[in-house]
């Protein structure tokens, strides 16, 4: 109540980051000006550059923070040596879809920015190592054979993530609406593990 918890500059920088996140996702990097961001945050471009150095740097700080939040939730699941493959898949689907329900547009945006090579921040996340050396991949390889394990991983991630990328299309075409979409994603938390189990069985061909 009586003390600020060492948030001296935070009030200012947090507002800027929040506004930047919203505008970058809404308009894309190239179509967002730091003027807009500053105005939306109730400040000016000079202060913005004072705190973050450049537009590019602000961008990386904001997006990296979000991505690390997702990876931070997934990493413990991937590395847990005391859960079964099936338990991991259930936990992973749950975590991923909950995250995307909070921030449905983040991955569409990030994958597109990575494609344009606007920043090579994937190296900074060490995602490759996290996946490759994980106990999860060991278990998946044991269940599918080495050749198919990556294919199966791709399937699982596809079924979690792609619906969120297609969401604007699904809604704009009238194939579903906002509420129904939300309900479908909750339903998928239950169904994706079921579908994956059936794929794993058929894969022993």
Partner DNA sequence: GTCTATAACCTGATAGAC
Partner DNA sequence: GTCTATCAGGTTATAGAC
Residues engaged in binding a second copy (CB under 8 A): 26-32, 105, 108-109, 111-112, 114-117, 120, 122-123, 127-128, 131-132, 150-151, 154-155, 157-159, 161-163, 165-170, 172-176, 184, 187-188, 191, 194-195, 197-199, 201-202, 205
Closer to a second copy at the Cβ: 6 or 132? Answer: 132
Short-list 59, 63, 74, CA closest to 134: 74
43 three-state secondary structure: coil
Residue 67's binding partner among a second copy, DNA, none (Cβ under 5 to 8 angstroms by kind) is none
Place of tokens 């494609």: 115
Residue 163's binding partner among a second copy, DNA, none (Cβ under 5 to 8 angstroms by kind) is a second copy
Closer to DNA at the Cβ: 50 or 162? Answer: 50
29 three-state secondary structure: coil
Q: Any contact of residue 84 with DNA (CB under 7 A)?
A: no
Is 144 in contact with 138 (CB distance < 8 Å)?
no
Quickly count: other Cβ atoms within 10 Å of residue 64's Cβ: 15
The tally of CA atoms less than 13 A away on the side-chain side of residue 81 is 1
Q: Which two tokens stand for residue 45?
A: 């471009």
Alpha-carbon gap, residue 44 to 157, rounded angstroms: 40
**Percent helix, percent strand, percent coil in the chain, to nearest 5:** 80, 0, 20
Short-list 35, 38, 33, 46, CA closest to 17: 38
Residue 111's binding partner among a second copy, DNA, none (Cβ under 5 to 8 angstroms by kind) is a second copy
CA dihedral 63, 64, 69, 71 (to 10 degrees): 120
The residue count for binding DNA (CB under 7 A) is 20
CB of 17 to a second copy, least distance (A): 20
Residue 55's binding partner among a second copy, DNA, none (Cβ under 5 to 8 angstroms by kind) is DNA
Footprint of DNA on 35-74 (CB under 7 A)? 35-36, 43-47, 49-51, 53-56
Closer to DNA at the Cβ: 15 or 188? Answer: 15
Q: Would you tell me which residues interact with DNA (CB under 7 A)?
A: 8-9, 12, 32-36, 43-47, 49-51, 53-56
């Amino acid at each position: 109540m009586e003390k600020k918890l060492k948030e001296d500059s935070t009030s200012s920088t947090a507002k800027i980051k929040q506004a930047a996140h919203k505008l970058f996702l809404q308009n894309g990097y190239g179509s967002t000006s730091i003027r807009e961001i500053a105005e939306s945050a109730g400040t000016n471009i000079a202060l913005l550059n004072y705190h973050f150095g450049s537009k590019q740097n602000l961008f990386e700080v904001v997006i990296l923070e979000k991505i690390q939040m997702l990876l931070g939730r997934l990493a413990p699941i991937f590395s847990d040596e005391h859960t079964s493959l099936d338990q991991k898949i259930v936990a992973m689907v749950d975590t991923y879809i909950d995250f995307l329900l909070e921030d449905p547009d983040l991955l569409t945006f990030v994958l597109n920015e990575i494609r344009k090579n606007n920043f090579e921040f994937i190296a900074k996340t060490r995602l490759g190592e996290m996946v490759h050396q994980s106990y999860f991949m060991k278990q998946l390889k044991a269940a599918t054979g080495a050749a198919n394990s990556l294919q199966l991983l791709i399937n699982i991630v596809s079924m979690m993530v792609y619906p969120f990328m297609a969401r604007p299309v699904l809604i704009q075409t009238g194939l579903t609406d906002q509420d129904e979409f939300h309900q479908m994603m909750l339903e998928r938390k239950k169904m994706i593990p079921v579908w994956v189990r059936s794929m794993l069985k058929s894969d022993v061909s």
